Amino acid sequence: MAQWIGFIGLGIMGRPMAKHLLRAGYPLVVHNRSRPPVEELQALGARAASSPRQVIEEADVVITMLPNSPDVELVALGAGGLIEAAAPGKLLVDMSTISPLVSQRVAAELKKQGMEMLDAPVSGGEKGAIEATLSIMVGGDRAAFDRTLPILQAMGKTVTHLGPIGSGGFVKLANQIIVAINLTAIAEGLVLAAKAGLDLELAIKALAGGLAGSRCLEQKTPNYLTHSFQPGFKVDLHYKDLGLIMEAARGLGVPLPVTALVQELFSALRARGRGGLDHSGIITLLEDLAGVQVGRRP
């Protein structure tokens, strides 16, 4: 019989990821702060838990997909948390994007109870979560990774073991640098094209066929053409990641001048009340500055 898996955090990303585990035949126990996602998973065959502690009591492997470092610390180490029922043979796989230093600290505390932890943040956004094509970046003990690999492969297409605990988080921060700068560069390029009076669809087709082509441009093209920015990954969350990036960079002594500028642009976008937009919505800030509109209004 397949081992029981616990899943904590059924948001935009976590809900479809949990569904893939059910489809793969894993028995699943779930927990979430709001009730509707839990009920949705229950209808598909999952069991509900009232607390993180209950999740780990019933599961061999617990996956967390949470917004930020304090959320992971609370679930893992707080009252009613995983640590209260931690034991040898249990494993936490944190797939959130948090500070790698926090991952290392949580792992050290769980290790005192004999419990292993992997940090395994993902890239690919809501689309990747729905299609099970995520890139999963994993740090932690190699034996724990090998044990978890089939589970991760049910949710992602590219699963890479990168080294000790925290390694996955550092690579995810590098990923978020590249994505934020790419989206900002795409926004500047498309605003320039719009201001010049070019056909947006033709311009994107030309750009996508050359060196300027990217996964960001490919995935976000419908957003630009329809000027619709329903979140696959919110500006607020990417802004949070940019804060983690700058914190890590200062600790490592790494200057990130372009990232710092992009962080301020995301901050300005949030100040306009647009933190709930998809992160490709950074283009709306550039539109404001240039006095031009890209794409068709929905």
At 263, list the tokens. 């962080």
41 and 74 housed in the same domain: yes
Q: Identify whether 298 is part of a domain.
A: no
Q: What is the pLDDT of residue 297?
A: 55
CATH of the domain at 239: 1.10.1040.10
Domain assignment of residue 297, yes or no? no
Q: Is 112 noted as a catalytic residue in this protein?
A: no
d(CA 61, CA 20): 15
CATH of residue 103: 3.40.50.720
pLDDT in tens, 191-214: 999 999 999 999 999 999 999 999
Look at residues 148, 215, 231, 158 and name the one whose alpha carbon lies nearest to residue 182: 215
Catalytic pick among 90, 172, 220, 234: 172
Task: Give 106's strand partners.
Answer: none
Specify which residues 94 forms β-bridges with. 64, 119
Residue 295 lies in a domain: no
Q: Is residue 296 part of a domain?
A: no
Same domain, 157 and 183: no
Which of 108, 143, 164 terminates a domain? The answer is 164
Q: What is the largest CA-CA distance in the chain?
A: 64
In a shared domain, residues 33 and 153: yes
Please give the pLDDT value at position 229.
96
Neighbour tally for 114: CB within 10 Å = 11
The string of DSSP codes covering 63-103 is EE--SSHHHHHHHHHSTTSGGGG--TT-EEEE-S---HHHH
Structure tokens at 290: 């240039």
Domain boundary pick from 164, 179, 210: 164
Co-location of 234 and 121 in the same domain:
no
Check residue 3 and give its pLDDT.
87
Residue type at 176 in one-letter notation: Q
Tell me if 245 is assigned to some domain. Answer: yes
Q: Are residues 152 and 196 in the same domain?
A: no
Residue 76 sits in the same domain as residue 19:
yes
Q: Are residues 144 and 243 located together in one domain of the fold? A: no
Quote the CA–CA distance of 298 and 290 in Å, as a whole number: 21
Asked, for residue 63, whether it belongs to a domain, the answer is yes
Statement to judge: residues 41 and 154 lie in one domain: yes
Identify whether residues 154 and 177 lie together within a single domain: no
Task: Find where tokens 């600290």 sit.
Answer: 105
Q: Which residue range forms the structural domain that includes residue 180? A: 171-290
Are 189 and 207 a contacting pair, CB within 8 Å?
A: yes
Q: What is the pTM of this model?
A: 0.91
Residue 258 domain flag: yes
pLDDT for 125 equals 87
Total number of domains constituting the chain: 2
Residue 120 domain flag: yes
Low-confidence ranges of the chain (pLDDT < 70): 1, 297-298
Q: Are residues 12 and 132 in the same domain?
A: yes
In this structure, the answer to whether residues 32 and 146 fall within a common structural domain is: yes
Residues 182 and 53 in one domain: no
Residue that finishes a domain, picked among 135, 164, 193: 164
5 close to 61: Cβ distance less than 8 angstroms: yes
